[in-house]
Structures are given as C-alpha cells and as structure tokens.
Structure 1
Amino acid sequence: MDKMDLKLDNFKKDCKKQMEIICEGLQHQKTEITAIEQSLSDMDSRLQADENNTECLLKQSSFLQSKVDDIENWSCRNNIRIFGFPDNIEGNNLPNFLTTWLQEVLDLPEALSYGIERAHRSLASSKTSKNNSTKSIEDSPDVRAARKVANFIGSEHHEVTFTPEKGISCLDEVIRTLETYDITTVRASVGMYLVSRYIRKTTDSVVIFSGEGSDELTQGYIYFHKAPSPLEAAEESERLLKELYMFDVLRADRTTAAHGLELRVPFLDHRFTTYYLSLPPEHRVPKNGIEKFLLRAAFQDSKLLPEEILWRPKEAFSDGITSVKKSWFALLQEYVDSQVNNSDLERAEEKFPFNTPSTKDAYYYRQIFEKHFPGRADWLSHYWMPKWIKATDPSARTLSHYKTEDDKNGAEKVHLDRC
C-alpha cells in the first residue's frame, strides 16, 4: 500500500509540473498575442494617418492643378505660353530672354559661317576676348561681314582662305566623313571641314560654337517668304528641326568631329527653342521682306551689332564663302561637268533607283558615296529642297538679293539654293 501511495504522489507531482509548464507556455503565447495585437493596432493608426495624408496631398495637388489651369487660361488669353524659363529671366519678351541666354553661352571660340546668328554669337564671344574664324574663297560676302563685326566688337579675327581646287580635292574625304550624298550638305561641308582642320592644326581650341539650327527655328530660309500661311510656316519650321540630324547638324557634327573638335550649337539650346516655338506662328514669319525678323528686331535698339549686319539678308552657307560673281555651287558644277557624261546622267535611274540624282553634281556625289558605302543609299530618306517654289537645285544665289546689277536686268532664273 505504501508503494502505491508513493507512485500516486509522484504521478501527481509530475502532472502538476506539466501543468505549470503548459500554463507558462500559454502565458508566453498570450504575451506574444498581445504584442501582435498592439502592432496591428499601431499599423491601423499609421494607415489611417497615411490615408489622411494622401487625402491632404490629393487636395493640395488638385489646388495646384487649378492654379496651373488658371495660369494657362490667362496665358492663352494674352497670347503667352510659359515653359520653365531660367530664374533670372525677367518678363516674357524675347530681348530679355536672348540677353540672359547669350550671357550663359560665353567663353568659347567662334567659328564658321557668318550670318546674323553668328554675329550674335560673336558678340557673346567678344565679352571674353575669344577668337573668331571665317572660312572663304577670296572676295566672299562672309569675309567682309566678319571683318565689320570683328572691328565693331573688338574681337580677334582669323580668316581661312582656300582655292576652289583645294575645296574640290577634299570632296571624297568630306563625303566619306559625312556618310551622306545630299547635295547642299556636301557643298556646305567643304568649307566647314577645311576651317575645322585649320583650327585643329593652328590653335589650342577644341570646343567651338556655330549657328546651326537658327534658320530652321527662326524661319531664316528665303523660301519662308513664300509660305501660304503662318501656320504652314510653323509646321515647316518644326519639320526642318526634326530633320536636322540628316542635314545641317550632320554636317556640323561630322566635319568638326573629324578633326577632334567639340561643337556647341547655342541656337538649339532647349530653353531657347522651347521659348521660340511657343510664340504665336504669326510672330515668327518673315516680315517686311526680312527673314528672321523677330530675332533681328529683338536686337534693334541694343546697338550691339552694326546695323547693316543686323539686317543683312540671308546668305546661303556654302555660297557666302565665295565671290558673288561666281558661287561655290557654280564652281563645283563646272568641275563636275567634266567628270560625269550626259549618257551617265540619262541612265542614272537604272544605276541609282532610290533617290535618283537629277543633276551631274548630285550624280558625282552619289558615286563617291557608293564607293565608300555601297548599298546604303537609304541612309538619306530624301534630298534637302525648299518648299512652295519650283526648285531643281538647293542653291540660293539666283535670288534677287544675291544678283549683281547685270543679273537683275536679265531674265529671272528659277532654281534656288539652300534658301
């Protein structure tokens, strides 16, 4: 009996110990459950706060959007569109914008063709006593214009002259560098290629400025005078800007990069292009027989450029480097006439079914291109040609304001170049 009692007592002790262990476990689980419940409660509080914050942010966003809409409605009523100008732009007018913009693109040398866009760029460069370079054949309009501006603003000016023979001799190299056979691009690239080589060999300059994009953006080509309406002129301007990579920007980039130079094109600064394209179409068209009228007018009272340079008519890039008596395109055509037979041109469509050349110089450039890049003619979707006129060639020297007095008395010619 004593043994049975002893076993019973031990069993009771074991059961009690197990119960204590179970109770301790249950208490620990209860504590964990309480902690989890507290965490869930905290999460609910934070979610509620986030929902309140989100609702608040949505209300603020809606309020700000309404203010933006109010500004846009006001700007539309007043023919003004606002696109994130630099903080230091005061007022919504082109002169203020251009003045600030020019201040931000100083401190680099200037080079290449001498139109109104380059005159503005030279003005900026002169403030830091940088160099200006102009390429030309003797007695060219660009040289005379560049000398006037250099004297007026007191900049150090360099002139790079070359003979027609020297220009013709580098055609093969230029076309290989460009990877295109577009007529006006090839013509204009010769001078730019030669002046870039001069800068690389004779100066320490590596980064240079040029005026690409100005004609496309500010409607500088002569054929814009023939635009049927301001809206169609604006659409053409945007088309030209979108195609710059095939023409002027291709030329500027390849001819300078071929000599290790880095080109900057301030007229394609995104702030300036955004601002200019936001202006009403009727403000951007040529006026009073003057292309780029708005850009010129912005500097009318500044006395920063000679008056005759500010209002100088558009000069075609490849033509401004040569004498008015004989244009660069005419010199090229004379040379090519002895290199391409009439029979070759007559069979041009058989040899070149895509972008078939219609002139001897176009045929000659295409032959050189195919030698370096056979079967790659589709790199160029179309030739650069002016609109709204009957043009068979892209050269502008046949327009009235390029003619000599004898020419003006003669019959009017019909083809225009890069006008």
Structure 2
Amino acid sequence: MQVSPLVWGVTILVILGLLAFDFFVHVRKAHTPTLREAAIWSSLYVGVAVLFGVVVWVFGGTEMGSEYFAGYVTEKALSVDNLFVFLIIMSSFRVPREDQQKVLLFGIVFSLVARTGFIFLGSALINSFAWVFYLFGLILLITAGNLLKPEGEESHSADNFIIRLARKLFHTTDYYDGDKLFTLDKGKRAMTPMLLVMVAIGGTDLLFALDSIPAIFGLTQNVYIVFTATVFSLLGLRQLYFLLDGLLDRLVYLSYGLAAILGFIGVKLILHALHENNVPFVNDGNPVPVVVISTGLSLGVIVGVLIVTVVASVRSPRGKAQSAISGARRHATAYLDLGYTADLAERDRIYNKLLAEEQQLRELTPKYRQLVREEQQLMDLVQRAHTEHDDFLSR
C-alpha cells in the first residue's frame, strides 16, 4: 500500500494536535495527576492507537495491519522499560512531583524528533544498502545480551559527562524555581536543574532510539508503519508513568522478556538479510535459501513473550519483595525531601504509600524478610520518615 502525501499530512497534523492538547490541557499548569486521571488518559491513548491500527488493517490489508500491531506492541514494551530510567533520572535530580509531567512531555517530544530522524535515515540506508539488515540484526542481538546483564541504578546515573560538562561551563543552581529553565542567582542568570534534567532525558532518548528503530525495522520496512507505530507507542507515555508508579519495580522479568523479543527480531533480520543477500563475501553475493519468519508469527511471539513476562513478574515472590523494598525506599526519601512537593495532599499520598509498603514487607516470607533486615540504611530511612511525620502532626 502506497501512502499518499495527503495521508502523511493528516497523520502529522493529528499527532501535533494530540501533543498540543496534552500540553495545554494537562501539562501547562503544574499539578500531580491522580491515579484516576492517569488511568483514563492512558486508556484513551491506547484506544486511539488501537483504532488507528484497525483503520490500517481495513484500508491497508492484513499484512500491513499485522505489521503495525507488531511494531506498536514492541515499541510500547520498550517504552515501559524506558520508564525505569526516567524514574531514576528524575529521582537523581529530585524533580518536584508536580513538575515531572513537563519533563516527561519534553522527553516524549524530543524522542519523537530523534526517532523520526533515525527512521528516515534507516529507511534511506536500507533502500541503498542491503547489508544494513545484517548490522541492525547484530545491534539487536548485542542489545538483547546487554539486557540480560544485571544492572543497578548506577548504570543509569544522571551524573553523566554532558551534565558534568554543563555544570562546569555554566552557572547552575541546586534548587528549582518552579518549572523555569533559567533563574537569577545572586544577581546572575543561572541554569536550574530543570534544564539539566531535560538534557539528561534527551540524551537517554537518543540511546533508546538506537535500540528501538532497528527493532521495528526488523518487523516492517514500511516507513509509514514504522513512523506511526513508534509515535503512538510514545503518546500516552506520560500518563503511563504515573499509572505504573509503584508497579515498575514489580516487573522483575521485563528485561528478560525484552531480551527474548529483541533477540528474536535480531534473528529475523539476519534471516531476512540472508534471504535478500547481495553481499559479495556471503554465498558469492547470491540469496541464501533460509526460513522467512512471517509477520503473523512475529506478532504472536511478541505478545506471547510479554504475557508470560508480566504474569511471571506479578506472581513472583521476588517481584513482590523488590517492589515493596524499592517503593519504601523511594517514598521514605520523597517524604523527607522538602523540595519534593508543596502539595500536602501529595505528601499524605506518599506517606500512605509508605505505610502500605511496610505492611507488604511484614507479610513477606522469611527468606525475603531477611533481605529487608539486612538493609539497615532502608530501616533507618523509614524510621526517619515516621519521626518527621509525627513531628509534623504535633506542630
């Protein structure tokens, strides 16, 4: 199916309209989204993406529809994994809760621009050089292997080279001035941490694009499908961040599921490269007779792996323990951080979350309760949060 310039134009206008609506209706005025608000709008964005996929299926045919849904599901899963890193970065910069929406929206817009550039660059390379399929396949296999390596929060630290360079070259403050990027500090114009965190988010978005774009090109080479599946997977990511708050730590096997998916797509790309081979030193430049993996099979494998991954994570005692430990540490830290938010209702929400997580820790099996007892720093942090809360009530 050839997509006309008119369809491209209408699609881009709709996307720009959704981004403008998101900013002016939800993000422009700083506030902390409620769980209900996040659930409603996240569902609406998923609904729009699914409706668009149905339209593609009806007018573009089964093959094109399957390619869109396979690409959308894969990119959505990768975007959820990206939320872990966003959470770490914003925690590192101590971004006030009510201003996190603007940081996320900036990250989404930057990601859209960066990935659009990568999409058209990738398309140009694929059309000119068939060996690019080998390269993309190798990138995905390496990425899949890296996902299997154990990582801590330090591996995604926001204190990277660009941030250190910015702090060295420019006058920066250690405090926020609302959502302003610049402020006056001792009579001098200075950058606020808000600008630095946006730089950190933008930098990680570029790295994410290097993984996600080869993945979706492994499912389809239709540029329109690649573009729309990528864009719709990112729209609604802001709402999903607040909806999954507290549940991200529970997905302990997500990296394994993503590794399996990226490895599968990497193999699919290499098989496709062999099938279309024109590289002189491979089979004398002739195509190699290999099995070609269909889009339908790809979609089934992707959905199946994600279902198994999520169910296994949710039912895992390890996932429950990790979620409670990480949540208690995060919420105790947030409660003790006076710069976290000025909203008293948000502080009550954080403290109630901490109480619920402490209850979950008490209900753990002896094996995992022992892990909690060994984390003396966590226990001290929680106790300080209780002391601070008691002092607040007595004022």
TM range (shorter): under 0.3
Q: Which has the higher helix share?
A: 2
**Higher relative contact order structure (alpha carbons within 8 Å, sequence separation ≥ 6):** 2
Q: Which entry has the higher C-alpha Rg, 1 or 2?
A: 1
Q: What is the TM-score with the length of structure 2 in the denominator?
A: 0.23
